[in-house]
């Protein structure tokens, strides 16, 4: 079993920054790909970013490239999503997830992730 608890969401004005954290416990954190997804009201869950167990260059969607970045600290069993230059259209519930597939395009699919955090609300005002 793997448990994921995320935090760091909140209300931010456009142009601001937030960093989401996802703390894992249970199984070995380093064995999992860590992904970030978001879901806005009335829309499907959308891939945001992901990083493989070994780190390296993370993946990200076109809508957040240059603004969001995934990272991880395996020693702390924690994954992060740094969000800069926030826009109102970034408003959504953000979820961290853990999976075993680390290659494109599987890494961008929510069905490839077996464990999910509870979600944290990010609201960006104009």
pLDDT for position 98? 94
Q: How many helices (H) and strands (E) does the chain have?
A: 0, 11
pLDDT for position 53? 74
Q: How far apart are CA 7 and CA 42, in angstroms?
A: 23
pLDDT for position 5? 96
pLDDT for position 42? 93
**How far, in Å, are 1, 25, 33, 36 from residue 75 at the CA level?**
19, 12, 15, 20
Q: Can you give the pLDDT of all 126 residues of the chain as single tens digits?
A: 889 999 999 999 999 999 999 999 987 767 789 999 999 999 999 999 999 877 667 789 999 999 999 999 988 999 999 999 999 999 999 999 999 877 888 899 999 999 999 999 999 999
């Amino acid at each position: 079993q793997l448990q994921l608890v995320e935090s760091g969401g909140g209300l931010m004005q456009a142009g601001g920054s937030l960093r989401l954290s996802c703390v894992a416990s249970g199984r070995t954190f380093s064995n999992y790909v860590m992904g970030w997804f978001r879901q806005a009201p009335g829309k499907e869950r959308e891939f945001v970013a992901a990083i493989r167990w070994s780190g390296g260059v993370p993946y990200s969607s076109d809508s957040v490239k240059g603004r969001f970045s995934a990272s991880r600290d395996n020693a702390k069993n924690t994954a992060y999503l740094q969000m800069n230059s926030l826009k109102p259209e970034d408003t959504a519930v953000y979820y961290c997830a853990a999976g075993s597939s680390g290659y494109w395009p599987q890494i961008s699919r929510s069905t490839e992730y077996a464990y999910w955090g509870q979600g944290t609300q990010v609201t960006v005002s104009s």
